[in-house]
Amino acid sequence: MNFPIRSPYDTTSGIVLVPRLIDKARLQAQGNLPPGYTVGPIPGKRTFDDRFCAFLQITYQDFLQSVQQGGSDEEILERCLLTGHRPTPEQIEIWNTFMIKRGWRDAATEGLEKSKAEANLAHRTDLLTFFDLMDTEEGRKP
C-alpha cells in the first residue's frame, strides 16, 4: 500500500512529523485529504499539528502559508523557522523523543487505548504509541 501521507517517524532536518504535516496540508489544499484525517488545531483538543506549531512558535496559518509557497520539505520548514523559533539540537531531541513516545505511559495513554479500540486494534499490545498506531492503520509496519 502506498499511502499518500508519510509516516510520523519520517523527518525533515531531523525533526519528526514535519513530512507528514506537509503531506496533510498539501492533500487538504488539493481536496484529497483522506476521510477521517484532520489538519490544524481542533478547538478543545490538542493535535500533533498544533503541538508542532507551538514547538516552532508559529500559527497554523503561518505553516499553511509556507506549504502553499511550495518547495521542498526543507524549504518549507526553513520558512517556518524564519517566522518562528529555530530550536536547538537539544530542543529537537526533546521534541522528537516526546512525540515518538506519545501515548506510552503518559497522559495520552487513555486516548491511545481509545483510538486503538475505535480502529479495532485494541488487541494489539505491540502498538505502544500514537506513531505506532498511525503507521499500522496506514499499512506500514511500526
pLDDT level of residue 1 (50, 70, 90 thresholds)? low
The pLDDT, as a whole number, for residue 88 is 98
Neighbours of 22 (CB within 10 A): 21
The pLDDT, as a whole number, for residue 142 is 79
Tell whether the model's pLDDT for residue 5 goes beyond 60: yes
The label of the residue with cell 524549504 reads: 75
Residue-wise pLDDT for 84-131, tens only, equals 999 999 999 999 999 999 999 999 999 999 999 999 999 999 999 999
The pLDDT, as a whole number, for residue 2 is 75
Residue-wise pLDDT for 39-94, tens only, equals 998 998 899 999 999 999 999 999 999 999 999 999 999 999 999 999 999 999 99
CB neighbour list of residue 67: distance below 8 Å, 6 or more residues apart: 22, 25, 26, 29, 76
If you average pLDDT over residues 29-48, what whole number do you get?
92
